[in-house]
């Protein structure tokens, strides 16, 4: 056998090096900067670690606490979920996260009867007896009460099963609209009409929409049946039985995911993202004030190959500057909605609701009238799963209520905590869905919130962005923005 020439040996070495190195020509680990350590940022870090393995360095910038909008509130030594309170049994990512992290699920987080209050009286309430509840539902809403469950299962939950399958197979999409079209084209159609028009077109009665549907919109999104149909349909899934939360608090999920990912938390406020090199891939610089500093002389900066914005880039929601880009980086042109959660330790005013005893009072109320100062009134259970010594109620409202308003609900209290935050978008009746991609290798997970805002939606957006970043970094473009048919992949209920 002839000895290889020096030239041939060099060719073999060169070919081997090309086949085993990243498409960008560097063997260095990609550097990923994630802005925000809420559920979307934490999920993205976890999914990136799954995709890249040890070959990635991940920093997560967080100016407050890991968990974002999932922070708990403490009253009399007990913790309660303030934001992101309940999770649907069909939310496979959240279920998978709790399994991976060894967390326990409480499948009875807000037990008891449900009432619908129109501002003057209770127009409907469930019973402790399921047969009686069914009879009352049929009497007031006819077949709508049955049909809504079937409709949500067929139109929302079953298509979402398809989403889990194609994400498991590694398909990724550049825009929210392309992602929704891959799930089911009807999802995009739902986002172009109000939930009221959607459900009227599906044959549901005005009474059911004005009471049950509107009540669900007010408790879940603080808004009415004028919001777009997709977020409204997702909201209706949130009033089904089997809802759960994490024993000890839902905030443990993002905290556990950050730890599992091996990402480094960088404490500080991000002030700017700039494009320092327009090569392929580009290089970005993140400027931030470390810790709690407000002194610009303390400004630090770090460079990254991939930047993921995991905080809402919506009107007035972010003051991050994007510098040295040839085209402007635009925020999503929608406002965010203020949600106020008042946690009150005390006994409720039963006469306000027109009943004569606490035992006759439903444990949770929807409200249907926009002039009512609160959206919902719900008896709370500590996240520990234990029974608190004193009863705590949570009042959701769209503004900070005054003392006199709260005393209509609970005349005397031993403790009160009020938390307000910008919780989710102000949803229009029809929406122009945004892109996940802000620039080459720069992404916005929270773009998905304009379709619907929920913990699971954040995880879905994070998975999609992680796949986009991984494929583009490694030059695997064949699974980005593929046109999928319903026959692609079998529908499964596991990850």
Average pLDDT value for residue range 276-286? 89
Task: Give the pairing type, strands 72-75 and 283-290.
Answer: unpaired
pLDDT in tens, 27-80: 689 999 999 999 999 999 999 999 999 999 999 999 988 988 888 899 999 999
Separation between Cα atoms, residue 431 and residue 229, nearest integer Å: 10
DSSP string, 94-159: HHHHHHHHTPPEES-SS-S-EEEE-SSSEEEE--SSHHHHHHHHHHHHTTHHHHHHHHHIIIIIHH
* Cα radius of gyration rounded to whole Å, the chain: 25
Residue 110, pLDDT score = 66
User: Which strand (E) or helix (H) includes residue 61?
Assistant: strand 57-62
CA neighbours within 13 Å on the CB side: how many for 427? Answer: 34
Structure tokens at 45: 């870090």
Task: Tell the CATH topology of 28-68+251-334+430-474.
Answer: FAD/NAD(P)-binding domain (3.50.50)
How far is residue 335 CA from its own chain's centroid?
Answer: 16
Residue 237, pLDDT score = 83
DSSP string, 440-464: TTEEEGGGGGGT--SHHHHHHHHHH
User: Which strand (E) or helix (H) includes residue 322?
Assistant: strand 321-323
pLDDT in tens, 336-383: 999 999 999 999 999 999 999 998 999 999 999 999 999 999 999 999
Average pLDDT, the chain: 90
Instruction: Give the residue among 443, 464, 457, 326 at the shortest CA–CA distance from 32.
Output: 443
Give 278 or 323, the one with higher predicted confidence: 323
Instruction: Give the residue among 237, 105, 96, 87 at the shortest CA–CA distance from 164.
Output: 96
């Amino acid at each position: 056998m002839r000895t290889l020439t020096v030239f041939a040996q060099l060719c073999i070495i060169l070919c081997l090096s090309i086949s085993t190195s990243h498409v960008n020509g560097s063997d260095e680990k990609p550097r990923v900067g994630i802005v925000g350590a809420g559920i979307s940022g934490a999920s993205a870090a976890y999914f990136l670690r799954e995709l890249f393995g040890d070959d990635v360095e991940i920093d997560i910038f967080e100016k407050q606490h890991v968990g974002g909008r999932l922070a708990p509130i403490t009253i009399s030594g007990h913790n309660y979920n303030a934001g992101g309170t309940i999770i649907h049994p069909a939310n496979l990512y959240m279920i998978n996260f709790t399994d991976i992290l060894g967390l326990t699920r409480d499948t009875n987080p807000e037990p008891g009867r449900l009432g619908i209050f129109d501002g003057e009286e209770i127009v409907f309430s469930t019973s402790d007896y399921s047969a009686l509840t069914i009879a009352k539902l049929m009497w007031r809403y006819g077949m709508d009460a049955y049909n809504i469950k079937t409709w949500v299962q067929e139109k929302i939950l079953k298509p979402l099963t398809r989403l889990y399958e194609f994400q498991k197979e590694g398909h990724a999409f550049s825009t929210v609209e392309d992602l929704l079209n891959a799930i089911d084209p009807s999802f995009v159609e739902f986002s172009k009409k109000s939930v009221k028009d959607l459900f009227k077109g599906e044959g549901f009665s005005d009474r059911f929409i004005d009471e049950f549907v509107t009540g669900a919109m007010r408790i879940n999104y603080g808004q009415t049946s004028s919001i777009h149909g997709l977020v409204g349909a997702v909201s209706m899934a949130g009033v089904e039985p089997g809802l759960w939360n994490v024993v000890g608090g839902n905030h443990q999920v993002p905290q556990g995911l950050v730890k599992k990912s091996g990402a480094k938390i960088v404490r500080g406020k991000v002030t700017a993202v700039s494009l320092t090199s327009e090569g392929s891939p580009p290089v970005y610089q993140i400027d931030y004030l470390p810790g709690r500093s407000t002194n610009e002389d303390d400004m630090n900066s770090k460079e990254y190959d991939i930047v993921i914005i995991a905080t809402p880039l919506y009107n007035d929601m972010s003051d991050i500057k994007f510098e040295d880009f040839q085209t402007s980086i635009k925020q999503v042109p929608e406002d965010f909605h203020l949600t106020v959660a008042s946690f009150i330790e005390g006994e409720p005013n039963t006469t306000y609701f027109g009943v004569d005893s606490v035992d006759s009072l439903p444990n949770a109320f929807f409200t249907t009238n926009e002039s009512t100062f609160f959206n919902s009134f719900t008896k709370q259970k500590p996240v520990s799963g234990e029974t608190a010594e004193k009863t705590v109620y949570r009042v959701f409202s769209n503004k900070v209520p005054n003392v006199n308003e709260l005393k209509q609900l609970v005349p005397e209290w031993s403790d009160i905590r009020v938390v307000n935050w910008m919780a989710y978008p102000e949803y229009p009746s029809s929406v122009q869905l945004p892109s996940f991609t802000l620039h080459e290798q720069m992404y916005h997970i929270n773009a998905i919130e304009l379709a619907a805002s929920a913990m699971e939606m954040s995880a879905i957006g994070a998975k999609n962005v992680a796949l986009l970043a991984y494929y583009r970094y490694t030059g695997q473009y064949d699974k980005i923005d593929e046109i999928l048919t319903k026959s692609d992949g079998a529908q499964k209920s596991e990850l």
